[in-house]
Amino acid sequence: MSEDRDWPALSPISTGIRGRCPRCGKGHLFRGFLKLRKSCEVCGLDYSFADPADGPAFFVICFACVPSAILAVWIEVEYQAPYWVHLFTTLPFLLATCIPPLRPLKGWLVASQYFYKAEEGHLAKSTAKGPSLNGGV
């Protein structure tokens, strides 16, 4: 299609959170709730570079699941609540704080990978001649 230099640099936050293509900002990033498309339907950007792995889940666990667990423990310790109270308080809070952030976080991570040209690390072989191991002989 066209080169990356033909497209303006778009903020990973604005494109990723909205689930838009990180190159053109118009195409969709997701096919389902969390399933990435193969490519952008507008500019043709191939999304095979994207590998957010467990990043979204990690952020959700740190910033949503921990407070939800603290809420459950607090309700239990403070009120010695029966299980049905947790069913109607803790469970909805847990679902509301853990599931909705997954998609925007995944979009942001994919858009950041594109924006910063992230790729798998490689070990570079040194081509310059350095000091030899046998004492300079």
Confidence check: pLDDT of 135 > 60: no
Is the separation of the CB atoms in 75 and 90 below 8 Å?
yes
Residue 6: pLDDT band (50, 70, 90) is confident
* pLDDT in the model for residue 1: 47
Q: What is the pLDDT of residues 32-61, one digit of tens each?
A: 999 999 999 999 999 999 989 899 999 999
Q: What is the pLDDT of residues 79-96, one digit of tens each?
A: 999 999 999 999 999 999
* Closest to 109 measured CA to CA, from 41, 13, 8: 13
Q: Give me the mean pLDDT over the 69-79 stretch.
A: 95
Backbone angles phi, psi at 70, to 5 degrees: -65, -40
Which amino acid is it at 113?
Q
Q: What is the pLDDT of residues 98-121, one digit of tens each?
A: 999 999 999 999 999 999 998 888
